[in-house]
Amino acid sequence: MGNNGFFTDTTLCIGCKACEVACKQWNQLPSDGFKMSGYSYDNTVALSATTWRHVDFVEQKHFPDGSGKPVNWLMMSDVCKHCTHAGCMEACPTGAIIRNEFGDVFVQPDICNGCGYCVPSCPFGVIDRNETTGNAAKCTLCYDRQKDGIEPACAKACPTDSIIFGDVDELKERARKRVDTLHDRGVDTAYLYGVDEDTSVGDLNAFFLLTERPSVYNLPEKPRLPQDNVLPGFMACFAAGALLTVTTFFSLWKHV
């Protein structure tokens, strides 16, 4: 059995938030409360322990007609990436985070001790601790639905097929054809994020079709696992220590 995952085509997203609602309803996640965030129509702001799907609204303020009105919208339904090399899973000291039989990165709530080591280990800022239970929580790719042969709630609810669920290898082929189609239509900036990229997290099992740089969608340009910073950090500390040692030596030598 191959890995299951998501292909999210941002060019088809209409920002309806049906995926957010379906995710919360099926997984019985509590409301985040209604508040005006100041970020366009985005009231959930980010993924969290109680928001496993988040529709990001990006207003590009281009004023070619001099009207002062935004004329371009980018919308993307964000979710856990279920990375090939998952930082959260590598950081978990209890083995609570595993890869299940469908290839999904899954948090076992009965084993999680709430240490929170997984939170800073995710380069995408996905996983979070639930303030009520203390456990880490994120998208499960609707594990219970998959076991019954049913697609995840968010993909089922998406009215434009912006979110497609299935075998990751098959989704990649479909996604590449979609990129070629967009290029033929003149959308030269279309590309796949999380597929065939040289990063330490590997390919993403929940990947995206984008038309702007990743940072525009609040995604890292080059996602890196925390351990990638160990050697550069050590070298920086070593260089700083060596410089201080030399500086101290010459300072004392002048007073001898």
CA atoms of 32 and 44, how far apart (whole Å): 7
- Region 138-142: mean pLDDT is 97
**Strand 206-210, strand 4-9: pairing:** parallel
Both 182 and 141 in a single domain?
Answer: yes
Say if residue 16 carries a ligand binding annotation.
yes
- Residue 32 CB contacts under 8 Å (≥ 6 apart), including other chains: 43, 44, 48, 50, 51
Both 189 and 234 in a single domain?
Answer: no
Dihedral sign (CA 57, 58, 62, 63): positive
- Position 240 scores a pLDDT of 64
CA atoms of 86 and 66, how far apart (whole Å): 46
Both 155 and 242 in a single domain?
Answer: no
Least reliable range by pLDDT among 112-116, 132-136, 251-255: 251-255
Residue 137 phi/psi, 5-degree rounding, is -150, 145
Instruction: For 184-221, write each residue's pLDDT tens digit.
Output: 999 999 999 999 888 889 999 999 999 999 999 999 99
| Residue-number span of the structural domain to which 149 is assigned | 4-224
Both 220 and 236 in a single domain?
Answer: no
Which secondary structure element, helix H or strand E, spans residue 152, and what is its range? none
Q: How many domains is the chain partitioned into structurally?
A: 2
Tell me if 135 sits within 8 A of 236, measured CB to CB.
no
Tell me if 7 sits within 8 A of 155, measured CB to CB.
no
Least reliable range by pLDDT among 29-38, 110-119, 146-155: 29-38
Both 164 and 231 in a single domain?
Answer: no
Residue 217 phi/psi, 5-degree rounding, is -95, 15
161: tokens are 């097929």
Both 185 and 247 in a single domain?
Answer: no
166 by DSSP, 3-state: which? Answer: strand
Residue 197 phi/psi, 5-degree rounding, is -105, 145
Say if residue 237 carries a ligand binding annotation.
no
Say if residue 88 carries a ligand binding annotation.
yes
Instruction: For 31-55, write each residue's pLDDT tens digit.
Output: 877 777 667 778 788 899 999 999 9
Q: pTM here?
A: 0.84
DSSP annotation of 121 reads H
Both 94 and 74 in a single domain?
Answer: yes
CA atoms of 115 and 136, how far apart (whole Å): 8
pLDDT greater than 70 at residue 252: no
Both 148 and 202 in a single domain?
Answer: yes
Both 240 and 191 in a single domain?
Answer: no
Both 73 and 195 in a single domain?
Answer: yes
Both 45 and 93 in a single domain?
Answer: yes
Write the CATH number for 145. Answer: 3.30.70.20
- Residue 90 CB contacts under 8 Å (≥ 6 apart), including other chains: 121, 225, 227
Tell me if 51 sits within 8 A of 44, measured CB to CB.
yes
Both 194 and 236 in a single domain?
Answer: no
CA atoms of 158 and 92, how far apart (whole Å): 33
Beta bridge mates, 42: 39
pLDDT band at 233 (very low <50, low <70, confident <90, very high): very low
- Region 233-238: mean pLDDT is 51
**CA-based nearest residue to 169, from 229, 103, 227:** 103
Per the model's pLDDT, the better-predicted residue between 199 and 146 turns out to be: 146
The rounded mean pLDDT for the chain is 88
The type of residue at 219 is: L
pLDDT greater than 70 at residue 66: no
